[in-house]
Structure 1
Amino acid sequence: MNLEAWSLFSLLEPDFVKNLRMVCVFGNSGNEAHLVTQSDDVYALGSNAASCLGLGDVSSTLTPKKVKHLCQKRVKSFAYGTGPHVLACTESGEIYSWGHNGYCQLGNATTNQGVVPALIPGCLKDKKVVEIACGSHHSMCLTDTGEIYTWGQNTCAQIGSGTTNNQSSPRKVSSLFGGRKVVSIACGQISSIALLDTGEVYGWGYNGNGQLGSGNNINQLSPCLVIALNTVVISKVVCGYAHTLALSDEGYLFGWGANSYGQLGSGNKANSCSPTRVAVEIGRVVDIAASHYNNISAALTQDAKVYMWGQCHSQTVPTPILTPFQSLHEVFARFGCPGVTFAPMYTMIHSGNSLMNALKLAFDDATTSDFTFVVQGRDIHVHKALLKIRCEHFRSMFQSHWKEDKDTSLEIEQFSYPVYRAFLEYLYTDELNLGTEEAVELLDLANAYCEPQLKKRCEGLIQMGINIDNVCMLYATALKFDAQELESFCFRFSLNHMTAVTQSESFDQLDERVLKDFILKAAQYGAFKT
């Protein structure tokens, strides 16, 4: 997306912007930022409260300055508190911290403010961290083995240690997870949430607004299971200032906690102590966003529409409204209070008459094309040179000794117009926007044309549309096209909903061999134990 949505970046040089790969905006006024370039240099700009920019001083800056201690460290993520304090996680699993430290939130066993990024010492030294999160003044991280470590302020038990004493260095959250693996973490201002690989959700810390989903307003000293979600499988959880949103593997959205600005999307402003299904009217949801900095919520639906609700600038919006935006980030940039990024924004940004914009405009342009595909009686205008560059299939087809190289058009009979057009547009733009059924047909095309990257993209699109009625059909499709990631996803989904899946029509229609293998595999995972 365009960085112009944030006024903080209005002075950036175009050449600098073009080289960015990741951007984060944070701060109580949304006036501080970290930027990572394609060449792995890290920059910062903004007001620099509590030395949160990591530049080694307290001076603000309107122009980007290098954060020398993070350059060439392969930083993959940032997390921010409201002090503010900052965490940075690298691809190798190291954590750096700096900024405000009045509550030990830097994890360095002191309360000294950090002016430059420093590795967190102690028990994390031999751990590989894969995810980080910050509340107002506490910090969390998740390791590749599914362990949670927390530190910082603990006045409301937000670090889950079983006490309310602040914690000056990382400490493992010991909880009765039953040996199950934690796969994701999130923080509200003074609360914490964990998502397990079983789809279960646990919460702990402050619960005055019901943000833990426990059915009451009692603070929790240790992780507590959100029992009201035991009939669904949750795939993602996010936290706002004092509310929580959860997305199920079937695309259902649930919300609980504070709702004075309508941030739950329930249509009213009443708080909820238990998860309630919300935003039913917008259809299947595939992604959600919230930030502990504010009271706004956003969702992306299966048909690529972006909705928002909650505190949208000074307005209270209790029901999801459709936006013209193409990204969840744009909701927070334009309507968040403050306008922060809810998560790191990975991007390649182009401005003006860039090559990418020129290619988008060139697709299906009859005035510049030199070849036409005719699909179901409709023309699609393309350029041979670009197709040869982008696709091995066309590189072979448009060789000088083949008939097609001398022709100016070709009729395609084995694929539908919407799918073939989407394929050609993908070659020009790298973008795909298809429903589940069309994505299945495009997967067939990707397999036939030997396009592995397109195949992976199709698998991702199909996963967004999986439900109980179609999962068996899609499982068989994945086997047919050797789409291993899709096969695994369908199988896990089936395990989570085994009773309903085995009663579906598509289960009855499975090929005998596929059915036998499916049942044997499910049995190995204990699906039929009593």
Structure 2
Amino acid sequence: MLSLKHDSSKPQKIYLLNYIKIVQVDFGDNFVVLLTNDGHVYVASDDYFWNTKKTFKLLTDINDNNDRFKMIACGTRDLLLLRKDGTVFKSTQTLNSNRIPLKCIELVEGLKNVKLIACGPDHYFALTNREKLYGQSHENDSKPKFFQFPRDSINSRIKDIAFGEYFSLFLLENGELYFCGKDLTNTDIYSSSKLVLGQVERIATTKYSKFALAYSKSSYYVWGKIYKHHWSSFTKLNAKFESFAAVVEKFTPSPLTFDNYDVEFIVGQQKQRILACKFYLKSVSEYFCKMLSGKWLEKDRIIIDSYSYDTYYSYLNKLHCGDKDSIKINANNIGEFTDLAHCYCDQELIGYCKNFIRNDLNEKTIQIYLPIISKYQFDEFNDKLRQITFENLKTLC
């Protein structure tokens, strides 16, 4: 669908997306969707209905200055979009002027102030700012219906939603895990949610799977069918595993991968999301090792309000990818990067900041960098500061 020649030995560049910051990727049958940091949505497909012409196409009919998006979710054939103002859109099929069927994006009536969307193969859910959950089948044109949990859990917030082939999982903040849809062991359909496990920390499945995975109290649980193995209810696995992917690999010749993200950073005034892996951050950063083993140990959602999204995203990208080029320092963000480097005890980043200041420090920029040099006691700049001062005095004389 991208006109690339098959080569399984290495990743291939998609030059159209150079220098574009991608924050979310999802897919359905025959199409892939990307969400960028500036709220634009791109689609690529070999399906004629999308008409993307073998490349990533910007959805221009909804991507004007007033329609910027913060989340995407894909079903088997349909796409769901959450706009920054809490409005939801979905893809539908229409006819163009030549009576040829094409995909278009339309407003979902009856949904406002939504903060999270999630899609299964044939249904989706939307969670509002007031923690109200609404659901609808992709084939149903009626308005989304309010979905309520048992009265005992009514005051607990939803932590995560995961979709299997014909079922949904809802993990609440109190650790209760609810199931809705076709039972994994028979053909019964649950019209309401059913409590299946307690004290759960994380869940996983895929939209084309007939199994569900859960992590609780340092143990992994599995329910359903993986290859030739069956579990009639959530069953604790006695072996030690490092991830959900390792569990699946144990029971099937065709391993699956999952998003191994277990912490979400909410950054800046606009509360933008960055997903990361605790284990990896702890392995590459002394600061994260200390915080994620202490103050942040039990947290999977961390508020970062001291730094902007771009600065924090660049830093986490550097830690995850080892790419120092992701740190793009300029006169406007040097203060943030220097403060972050000192707070997080990152000597490499401190070195980047010092090199930038050293190369850009002159009589015109001294007012920008002098407060930073003084605050963080960069004494190695004293000689250059004296030289600039002497030259200015000489000029005045």
| TM-score, normalising length: structure 2 | 0.60
Aligned to 2:59: 120
Do residues 94 (structure 1) and 40 (structure 2) align?
yes
C-alpha offsets along residues 237-260 of structure 1, whole Å, 9 cap, x if unaligned?
22211101112221111101112x
Aligned to 2:241: 325
Q: Percent identity, aligned pairs only? A: 20
Do residues 272 (structure 1) and 272 (structure 2) align?
no
Deviation at residue 78 of structure 1 after TM alignment: 0.7
Do residues 185 (structure 1) and 109 (structure 2) align?
no
Aligned to 2:132: 200
Distance 1:350 1:277, change over 3 A: closer
- SS class of match (1:69): helix
Aligned to 2:170: 246
Deviation at residue 116 of structure 1 after TM alignment: 1.6
Q: 2 CA distance for matches of 1:149 and 1:337? A: 38
Q: 2 CA distance for matches of 1:459 and 1:293? A: 31
Deviation at residue 60 of structure 1 after TM alignment: 5.1
Q: 2 CA distance for matches of 1:201 and 1:121? A: 30
**Paired amino acid for 1:241:** E
**Paired amino acid for 2:114:** V
**Paired amino acid for 2:42:** Y
8 Å contact from structure 1 (residues 134, 187) kept in 2: yes
Distance 1:286 1:122, change over 3 A: same
Deviation at residue 336 of structure 1 after TM alignment: 7.4
Distance 1:171 1:239, change over 3 A: same
C-alpha offsets along residues 17-48 of structure 1, whole Å, 9 cap, x if unaligned?
xxxxxxxxxxxxxxxxxxxxxxxxxxxxxxxx
Distance 1:137 1:89, change over 3 A: same
Do residues 312 (structure 1) and 262 (structure 2) align?
no
**Paired amino acid for 1:321:** T
Q: 2 CA distance for matches of 1:220 and 1:73? A: 35
8 Å contact from structure 1 (residues 310, 317) kept in 2: yes
8 Å contact from structure 1 (residues 296, 336) kept in 2: no
Q: 2 CA distance for matches of 1:167 and 1:305? A: 47
Deviation at residue 93 of structure 1 after TM alignment: 1.7
8 Å contact from structure 1 (residues 100, 113) kept in 2: yes
C-alpha offsets along residues 464-523 of structure 1, whole Å, 9 cap, x if unaligned?
9xxxxxxxxxxxxxxxxxx999xxxxxxxxxxxxxxxxxxxxxxxxxxxxxxxxxxxxxx
Q: 1 CA distance for matches of 2:304 and 2:21? A: 29
Q: 2 CA distance for matches of 1:344 and 1:170? A: 31
- SS class of match (2:299): helix
8 Å contact from structure 1 (residues 269, 318) kept in 2: no
Aligned to 2:104: 169
8 Å contact from structure 1 (residues 294, 338) kept in 2: no
Deviation at residue 113 of structure 1 after TM alignment: 4.7
- Among 15, 23, 27, the alignment partner of 1:80 is 27
Q: 2 CA distance for matches of 1:254 and 1:201? A: 13
C-alpha offsets along residues 368-394 of structure 1, whole Å, 9 cap, x if unaligned?
xxxxxxxxxxxxxxxxxxxxx957xxx
C-alpha offsets along residues 328-387 of structure 1, whole Å, 9 cap, x if unaligned?
344456557975445476778999xxx95xx9xxxxxxxxxxxxxxxxxxxxxxxxxxxx
**Paired amino acid for 1:173:** V
Aligned pair count? Answer: 279
Distance 1:270 1:147, change over 3 A: same
RMSD: 3.7
Deviation at residue 220 of structure 1 after TM alignment: 6.0
Alignment of 1:11-22 (within 5 A): none
Deviation at residue 206 of structure 1 after TM alignment: 5.4
Aligned to 1:257: 181
Q: 1 CA distance for matches of 2:93 and 2:204? A: 25
Deviation at residue 125 of structure 1 after TM alignment: 2.7
Do residues 66 (structure 1) and 5 (structure 2) align?
no
Q: 1 CA distance for matches of 2:54 and 2:251? A: 31
- SS class of match (1:292): coil
Q: 2 CA distance for matches of 1:192 and 1:311? A: 23
- Among 75, 81, 84, the alignment partner of 1:144 is 84
Q: 2 CA distance for matches of 1:92 and 1:460? A: 28
**Paired amino acid for 1:300:** Y
Q: Looking at both structures, which has the greater relative contact order when contacts are Cα pairs under 8 Å and sequence separation is at least 6?
A: 1
Do residues 132 (structure 1) and 79 (structure 2) align?
no
Alignment of 1:393-408 (within 5 A): none
- SS class of match (1:221): coil
**Paired amino acid for 1:94:** H
Deviation at residue 223 of structure 1 after TM alignment: 0.7
Deviation at residue 58 of structure 1 after TM alignment: 5.8
Distance 1:330 1:182, change over 3 A: farther
Distance 1:172 1:74, change over 3 A: same
C-alpha offsets along residues 145-191 of structure 1, whole Å, 9 cap, x if unaligned?
2211110459xxxxxxxxxxx8722212121x4x5x21211111121
8 Å contact from structure 1 (residues 200, 229) kept in 2: no
Aligned to 1:39: none
